[in-house]
Amino acid sequence: MSSHSKDTDIDATRFGKPLASAVSPGASTHPDSAGARSRDIGGWRNMPSVIFAHFWLKCFGTMGFTSLFFVAYLYLLKHPAYPVTIIPETALDRIIGVEPFMLPFYLSLWLYVSLPPILMTTRQAIFEYGKWIGGLCLVALTIFYFWPTAIPPAHVDWARYPGMAFLKGIDAAGNACPSLHVATAVFSWSWMDQRFPELALGRSIRIFSACWCAAIVYSTMATKQHMAIDVAAGIGLALVFIWAYRWAGSANRRCAGGANRPEYGVTEQEP
Report which of residues 31 and 247 the model is more confident about: 247
Q: What rounded mean pLDDT belongs to the chain?
A: 77
Q: Which of 127, 123, 122, 121 is nearest to 46 (CA)?
A: 121
Instruction: Give the whole-angstrom CA distance, residue 188 versus residue 17.
Output: 17
Please state, as a whole number, how many other Cβ atoms lie within 10 Å of the Cβ of residue 254. Answer: 11
149 pLDDT more than 60: yes
Q: Where are the beta strands (DSSP E) in the chain?
A: 85-86, 149-150
pLDDT value at residue 253: 61
Summarize the confidence of residues 159-182 as an average pLDDT: 76
pLDDT value at residue 208: 95
Q: 84-93, 140-149, 173-182 — which is least confidently predicted?
A: 173-182
- pLDDT band at residue 5, thresholds of 50, 70 and 90? very low
Percent of the chain past pLDDT 90, that is, above it, reads: 33
Q: Where are the beta strands (DSSP E) in 49-184?
A: 85-86, 149-150
Q: Which of 190, 208, 226 is nearest to 106 (CA)?
A: 226
Instruction: Give the whole-angstrom CA distance, residue 243 versus residue 135.
Output: 13
At 1, the amino acid letter reads: M
Q: Which of 173, 184, 162 is nearest to 225 (CA)?
A: 173
| CB within 8 Å of 149: residues ≥ 6 apart | 84, 85, 86, 87, 174, 175, 176, 177, 230
Query: Which DSSP state fits 150?
Result: E
- pLDDT band at residue 262, thresholds of 50, 70 and 90? very low
pLDDT value at residue 267: 33
